[in-house]
Amino acid sequence: MNCLISDHVHPYLLDSLRQANINITYLPNITQQGVEAIISDYNILIVNSKIKINSAFITQCNNLQIVGRLGSGMDNIDVNALQDQGIHTVRTPEANANAVSEHVIGMLLSLANHLRSSDLEVRDFDWNREKNRGWEISNKVLGIVGYGHTGSQLGVKMSGWAQEVVCYDKYVVGYGQQNPLIVESTLKDVQQKADIISIHLPLDEETHGMINTQFLQACKPGVVLINTSRGKIVDTEDLIAGLQRGYVGGACLDVFENEKVDTYTETERLMYQALYDLPNVVLTPHTAGWTFESYYKIGKVMADKILALV
């Protein structure tokens, strides 16, 4: 079998597939057009987020049997169109779930304790203890929207910290029976009870722009919003308005509506500058699931799933 890998992967994945006598073409810098030009020669395609797989793409896949998505998001892949052609899809959401959940906690601690501003001020010989007085997580209610691989990891970790962990998932039920500190709730209950809400949802037609003014104003006043899933789930302008007007107390964002800085329009640049100027936000460049350990685990899980199919 022939396998095309279109993004950077841990050597474990390459070695495992080669040991199974799979011919590897490793082109981590290949473009969409480059993949389309050669895909008819391959039985397996492994992608990250840059390659878009839609119905038009699939018509060129004469021999394709498996598509592997490094990570969890499938918003760049038409899964139904692949299934219609009998092509298997595999992904690795369990591989970086722990990394993302730890990142959420780190961002939240940074926000609550003013770690970023404190660090910069101390380095500048500026000593502001009262200005940087923090607030504690232990007496707050944590809300989790989306209780899949990552949401559940966060829930287990935070169940010993927060006063209560209230969770909503449209498609998963019964998880509260496994941990008495996890409360299965409606979305409305999460909005009304939670001091902190962490979003762990896929991006699709249902969730696109879900976190908007209407959603935020229905939340507890001063809610802290955390998003490490997909940027387009949150309406950035609406979030900025909530932060500026005070009904949102803070935000931790690892993902953004547009993550290609060199493509920003002037309107986008002004919007993001307004976000960056706010003191009550913590921002990271889509690195929540990007640890040394998750890099290996993504490769291992992908190898195991592909080898189970060939």
The pLDDT tens digits for 51-95 are 999 999 999 999 999 999 999 889 899 999 999 999 999 999 999
Radius of gyration of the chain, Cα coordinates, nearest whole angstrom: 21
pTM of the model: 0.93
Contact 250, 280 (CB under 8 A): yes
| Helix/strand/coil percentages in the chain, nearest 5 | 40, 20, 45
Q: What is the arithmetic mean of pLDDT over 238-249?
A: 98
Task: Read off the pLDDT of residues 248-307 as tens digits, 9 standing for 90 and up.
Answer: 999 999 999 999 999 999 999 999 999 999 999 999 999 999 999 999 999 999 999 999
Q: What is the arithmetic mean of pLDDT over 180-207?
A: 95
State the pLDDT at residue 181: 83
With a cut of 80, say whether residue 243 has pLDDT above it. yes
With a cut of 80, say whether residue 122 has pLDDT above it. yes
CB atoms within 10 A of CB 5: 24
State the pLDDT at residue 26: 98
**Domains plus CATH for the chain?**
2-95+292-307 (3.40.50.720), 97-283 (3.40.50.720)
State the pLDDT at residue 20: 97
State the pLDDT at residue 31: 96
| N- to C-terminal Cα separation, the chain | 9
State the pLDDT at residue 139: 87
State the pLDDT at residue 73: 86
Task: Read off the pLDDT of residues 129-183 as tens digits, 9 standing for 90 and up.
Answer: 999 999 999 989 999 999 999 999 999 999 888 789 999 999 988 888 878 889 9
For helices 97-112 and 149-158, what crossing angle results, to 10°? 50
Contacts of 31-34 spanning 24+ positions with Cβ under 8 A: none
Contact 185, 164 (CB under 8 A): no
Q: Which two tokens stand for residue 50?
A: 């840059």
* Host H or E run for residue 144: strand 141-145
Q: What is the arithmetic mean of pLDDT over 27-32?
A: 96
Indicate the average pLDDT of the chain.
Answer: 95
Residue 136: burial class (beta carbons within 10 Å; 0-12, 13-18, 19+): exposed
Contacts of 237-241 spanning 24+ positions with Cβ under 8 A: 237/271, 238/211, 238/212, 238/213, 239/211, 239/275, 240/271, 240/274, 240/275, 240/278, 241/213
Q: What is the arithmetic mean of pLDDT over 10-24?
A: 97
With a cut of 90, say whether residue 240 has pLDDT above it. yes
